[in-house]
Amino acid sequence: MKKIHLSLSLALLLSSTAGAGLAATPEQTAMAALRAAPVVDGHNDVPEQLRSRFDNDFTKFDFRDTTKTGGNGKIVMHTDLPRLKKGMVGGQFWSVWVPADLPEAEAVREVTEQIDTVHRMVAAYPNDLSLALTAADVERAFKAKKIASLIGMEGGHSIGSSLAILRQMYRAGARYMTLTHSKNTPWADSGTDAPKFDGLAPFGVAVVKEMNRIGMLVDLSHVSEATMHDTLDVAQAPVIFSHSGAQAIDGHGRNVPDNVLKRLPQNGGVVMVVLLPDYVSEAVRQWSANRAGEEARLQKLFPYAPASVKAQLSDWEKANPRPQATVQQVADHIDHIRKVAGIDHIGLGGDYDGMDSAPVGMEDVSGYPNLFIELAKRGYRQADLQKIASGNIIRALRQAEQTAARLKDMAPGEARFSPAQP
């Protein structure tokens, strides 16, 4: 009997030791989270690359491999199908951006062409991509092992100051619109332009209300702090920041200040953390400002000698090498947003193919697992990681749909834009 008890004790000890040995590593926690909830990225500029590199000609574009797209002054693209799958990206908002300085009529035409480009891209790769118009569509794409493809309009200039055009863009598939880009629209202030309205003009308020009515997410990346607050004052559905960071970590005006983060729990909104180095790393932001200052100084000193300006600026760069953004710094933004707004208000919006470089370890879309491993090392649980990867943004999209259903008996907005009374 004693021998049996000893054997049982030994078995229990070995079982306990094996259990301890099987405790999930950060790598295992990260991958388990991404298998359960693949990344839904809030912002990727492949459509803009299709336009600028290939003139939207699909005979010149192969999304199965874009690693040979460098040269002629262009960097290699960040995105293709194999790298999306390696990065555990299961959903992507494809940005349909056109320049903010275009006349509105041209912007409407060109963004319509860009929406068409996304539809054509999805149709060209039916085994890999699936058009998604609803939260349920995203979840169905997950189950089918396809990449849910959503459309995000970057810049309110693309609706030509018309609620009717806004409604048509929604019918064409757009599921968010960034209220501004780098410049003010005629009815909302940008975060990188001189303020004109101290936030939203009256027509801008009408735009937000109509977006809520039809179920289109309001995107507050690029807008001024006053525009953020004005929008939160009237929004009935969650807002998103499709590609922004925390201003407390990096002081760029494109990032979200704490007084806005504190309002997100009441609204239900989501900050989709960006990877663009100037917005991620304060050291990179300061270096960029110093370089711009040095270039301006040299141009002032040597307006007659551009070759000398170029040579001396090159010498300055050698003496002052550009810092690198890191995965750890991206995680710092997530830590801060969790601290101020909470875990339910964080997502990811890389801005891949809309930037020249990305953080070390996340140089292209295949790098997302490295971020999740870093977060797991910091103590994020699998459930937390699943919310960041896609749970929170799918919830926000579904709530926007529910708001539209609640408002279905409301008549379409009739506001007309007038330059004299914006």
- Catalytic amino acids? 43, 45, 154, 181, 222, 243, 351
Do the Cβ atoms of 388 and 394 come closer than 8 Å? no
Alpha-carbon Rg of the chain, whole angstroms?
A: 23
Do the Cβ atoms of 246 and 261 come closer than 8 Å? yes
Other C-beta atoms closer than 10 Å to the C-beta of 420 total: 4
Please state at what angle helix 135-143 crosses helix 392-406, rounded to 10 degrees.
140
Cα 31 from Cα 36, distance rounded (Å)? 9
Torsion angle of alpha carbons 98, 67, 356, 149, nearest 10°? 40
Cα 183 from Cα 101, distance rounded (Å)? 8
Do the Cβ atoms of 247 and 225 come closer than 8 Å? no
Do the Cβ atoms of 378 and 331 come closer than 8 Å? yes
Q: For every residue of 282-305, which 3-state class applies, written as one string?
A: HHHHHHHHHHHHHHHHHHHHCCCC
φ, ψ (nearest 5 deg) of residue 150: -105, 165
Please state at what angle helix 104-124 crosses helix 46-54, rounded to 10 degrees.
100
Cα 338 from Cα 346, distance rounded (Å)? 7
CA dist 304 → 156, 298, 301, 307, 309 (Å): 41, 11, 9, 9, 9
Using alpha carbons, select from 98, 217, 200 the residue that is nearest to residue 159: 98
Cα 121 from Cα 17, distance rounded (Å)? 51
DSSP-derived secondary structure for 215-228: TPEEE-TTB-HHHH
| E strand intervals along 101-244 | 129-131, 147-154, 174-178, 217-219, 239-244
